A and B are shown apart, each in its own frame.
Chain A
């Protein structure tokens, strides 16, 4: 076995992290904390890609590059999301999702 740590350990750890992020996304009502929950989810998926790449396909680099591109997309997403959040704050002076409802109706 690969350095004494079974693959399942990584997968279970990433699962716990993923569903913690889901819980945060469901309960939080502040835009920035919701963004942080999404970052947790993306990060747990990256752990899965890397562990699968190392344990199941050690000679290849697919998982490695996939998580590299996921990180780049996460960076772009965070930049755009924070621009939107700052714009919302300018307009409504709050970033609570329950108070921002002008475009709803």
Chain B
């Protein structure tokens, strides 16, 4: 086995184990930390694919940004020592059946399809190419989605502030 295959095996095991822990852990902070491990292992997969820029984005935005946001909201809304009650067996069984059935269908489809995978060696992508095509207007340019996503981010930020800010005390009285 080559080093790359060993690294892929390690990342795959980490992803599978911590994904399952993310959705089954009964302590919410542990679930968040498991999610962090999954996202970091995914960044490792991007390094294996030789997409260094995406791996860096994955670590800074996902592992650095979103997970910290989630952990802060956990600290604001939940007791750390609180344990979720066990989910009903019936619900767990039917959900697992649905998930496993879907996974079986998709995996058999993937394995029966022969992909004409390219044999070109994995070349590193130059940062200049990424930056140029992000702001290019030609056929290989991505300036329109780039601008749309920036408007979306501004709208989301303003919306988040408006939703999360405290209203007047009379309005926020819970109507029982």
Contact = CB atoms under 8 A, between A and B. Distances in A.
Interface of A: 1-13, 15-24, 26-30, 32-33, 35-37, 39-40, 43, 46-47, 50-51, 54-59, 61, 64-65, 67-69, 71-80, 82-87, 89-92, 95, 102
Contacts of B166: 90
Contacts of A29: 87
Contact of B95 (A27, A47, A91): A27
B115 A3 contact: no
Interface residues of B, number: 87
Interface of B: 2, 4-5, 8, 12, 15-16, 19-20, 22-24, 28, 31-32, 35, 38-39, 42, 45-46, 48-51, 53-54, 57-58, 61-62, 65-66, 69-70, 73-74, 76-78, 84, 87, 91-92, 95-96, 98-100, 102-103, 106-107, 110-111, 115-123, 125, 129-130, 133-134, 140, 142, 145, 149, 152-153, 155-157, 159-161, 163-164, 166, 172, 174-175
B61 A2 contact: no
Nearest to B153: A76
Contacts, number: 229
A80 B160 contact: yes
A16 to B, nearest CB: 6
Main secondary structure of the interface of A (DSSP, over half): helix
A105 to B, nearest CB: 12
Contacts of A73: 149, 152
B107 A17 contact: no
Residue of B16, B23, B157 with most chain A CB atoms under a 10 A cut-off: B23
A64 B16 CA distance: 23
Given A22-B99, A24-B23, A78-B66, A68 B54 contact: yes
Q: Nearest 9 A-B pairs (CB), nearest first?
A: A24-B23, A76-B156, A26-B95, A83-B164, A83-B160, A23-B99, A83-B163, A19-B103, A20-B19
A27 B77 contact: no
Given A23-B96, A24-B23, A32-B77, A78 B12 contact: no
A77 to B, nearest CB: 8
